[in-house]
Amino acid sequence: MLRVEDTQNHPTAAFSPALLAEMADMVSRYPEGKQKSALLPILHAVQAEQGWLSAEAMDKVAEYLRIESIEVYEVATFYTMYFLRPQGKYMLEVCRTGPCCLVGAEKIMDQIEQTLGVKEGEITPDGLFSWRGVECLAACGFGPVLQIGPEYTFYEKLTPVSVNQLISDLKVKANN
């Protein structure tokens, strides 16, 4: 949920020129006066740049689209992809729905929890990782699967060994 203190503890950087250009391009896709349609794509772009959606950032989006702030908040709180507080640099999202569980998704989540040493929704002390279970990612035949934003890179047919390897690769990547 929206919490004002989050914004106070994590002041939002200004939107970059690249982001602003992307926003203008998005608005151009809809008929005159229907610019609110750009809300979901713009929120994705803002989150990709800032890592999450602060109240301050959402207010800026509202102003940009000439809609009320509440219209942005109600969308940001409805959809599961928008983060209303900061996350680890890498958010590992594992599919936890039935078909993936038939092929071992629960073991993958247990392994991640054990390897990272944090529970679902928490951030590792080095700020690098968070993880959570998400619903079916439309790759059930290639499960277990996980994705990592903001590009939503996809990993299929995971095993406890391969997921550990992925985590150590990401650590190396983050330190370079």
Partner 1 sequence: MGRKLLLEHINVPGINTYEVYRSKGGYASVEKALKTLSPDDVVEEVKKSGLRGRGGAGFPTGMKWSFLAKPEGVPRYLVCNADESEPGTFKDRYLMTYIPHLLIEGMIIASYALGAKTSYIYVRGEMMPQIRILEKAIAEAKNAGFLGTNILGTGYDLELYVQPGGGAYICGEETALIESLEGKRGNPRIKPPFPAIAGLYGCPTVVNNVESIAATVPIIRDGGDEYAKIGIGRSTGTKLISAGGNLKKPGVYEIDLGVPVEEFIYSDEYCGGIANGKRLKAVVAGGSSVPILPANLILKTAAGDARLMSYEGLSEGGFVTGTMMGSGGFIAFDEDQCIVRNTWNFARFYHHESCGQCSPCREGTGWMEKVLHRLEHGHGKLSDMDLLVDVSKKIEGNTICPLGDAAAWPVASAIRHFRDEFEWHVTNPQAAVAGNFGLAHYADPLTPVVA
Site size for ligand FES (CB under 6 A): 11
> What are residue 131's DSSP bridge partners?
92
Is 101 annotated as ligand-binding? no
For residues 73, 86, 44, 68, the Cα torsion angle rounded to the nearest 10 degrees is 20
CB of 139 to ligand FES, least distance (A): 4
Binding site for partner 1 (CB under 8 A): 29, 31, 34, 36-41, 43-44, 65, 67, 71, 74-75, 78-82, 96-99, 101-103, 134-143, 147, 149-154
Site for ligand FES in 122-141 (CB under 6 A): 136-140
Q: Quick check: 92 binds ligand FES (CB under 6 A)?
A: no
The string of DSSP codes covering 126-162 is TS-EEEEEES--S-GGG-S-EEETTTTEEE-S--HHH
Q: Which C-beta is closer to partner 1: that of 120 or that of 126?
A: 120
